[in-house]
Amino acid sequence: MMKVAVVGAGVMGSGIALCSIQAGYPTVLFDVNEAAIARGLKYIKEQLEIAVTKGKCSRENADNSLGLLSSTPDRSTLIADFIIEAVLEQLPIKKELFQFLETINSQDTIFATNTSSIPITQIGGSLKHPERLVGVHFFNPAHIMKLVEVIKGVATDPIIAEKAFNWSQSLGKKTVYAADAPGFIVNRVARHYYVESLKALEENVAPLEQIDRLLESSGFKMGPFKLMDLIGVDTNFSVTSSMYQQFHQDPKFRPNRIQQQKVDAGHHGRKTKQGFYKYEE
């Protein structure tokens, strides 16, 4: 059975690890922060309990899934058949991570990045074997959202991309191929859902609560401000900033000062109990 490693124990990484163990893959969850690992493991257990309570998963399957899960704060032990990162949306961090992982893993290991916006070709540019790197982009919350984008960089081996595609499908995901362009498919289209809503708030067109209600009444399941809180205001802002640079400061992708203030204040959404809305414990 293929061994999977997930790098990054935030909500996204933990959700990917949850998908992996539910599909029967032995999976290790890594983070340099042991407190983050503890939160990630707690999140996975809570989500499995919810699934059992709702009748979506049997107690036996939940226990078996947890039996496939391990964790580590030591990245020198990250040796696996399939390694996917869900770390900060910053190119230098991702490049350094894969450069290191390349030195300790076999030539058969598949490397995957969950980047939301950075071109795969850029991340793999400094690798000795960029053909082993592929984009596998989940959506938050990863264990609930069905869509996954698989992205081939210029150097990605088509066989590697196909294996990543098949792995995603084995998790029960609706998997699509996307071109290696900033934001890929979904984030490129959805970016303006956030940017234009923030601009409307900035120009005092309406309060954020009203903007959310209006868009929800138009058919969207969740308003933009509620959705930014769920994804992480900091993560959403990072993706917007990255795409703004990737599109050479095209004004339509300009990050918003209101969101910047939220990030500076540490109001990152549900995970910090404060974002555009406040959340109880």
Same domain, 239 and 162: no
What pLDDT is recorded for position 63? 97
pTM reported for the whole predicted model: 0.89
Residue that terminates a domain, selected from 144, 178, 212: 178
- What is the span of the domain harbouring residue 59? 4-178
Same domain, 85 and 220: no
The radius of gyration of the chain's CA atoms, rounded to the nearest angstrom, is 19
Residue 277 lies in a domain: no
Same domain, 10 and 45: yes
Q: What percent of the chain has pLDDT over 70?
A: 100
Same domain, 231 and 138: no
Instruction: Work out how many domains the chain is built from and give that number.
Output: 2
Residue that terminates a domain, selected from 178, 206, 221: 178
The mean pLDDT of 38-61, rounded to a whole number, is: 96
In this structure, what are the phi and psi dihedrals at residue 75, rounded to the nearest 5 degrees?
A: -75, -15
Residue 260 lies in a domain: yes
Reduced DSSP (H G I as helix, E B as strand, rest coil) percent helix, strand, coil of the chain, to 5: 50, 15, 35
Residue 281 lies in a domain: no
The mean pLDDT of 91-111, rounded to a whole number, is: 97
Residue 279 lies in a domain: no
Residue 281 has pLDDT above 70, yes or no: no
Active-site residues: which are they? 116, 137, 149, 187
Rounded distance between C-alpha atoms, residue 73 and residue 64, angstroms: 23
- Kindly list the strands in the beta sheet with 174-178, ordered across the sheet, starting from the edge strand earlier in the chain: 69-72, 27-30, 4-7, 82-85, 110-113, 133-137, 147-151, 174-178
pLDDT digits (tens, 9 = 90+) for 205-259: 999 999 999 999 999 999 999 999 998 999 999 999 999 999 999 999 999 999 9
Residue that terminates a domain, selected from 178, 205, 230: 178
Residues shown for the chain: 281
Q: What percent of the chain has pLDDT over 90?
A: 93
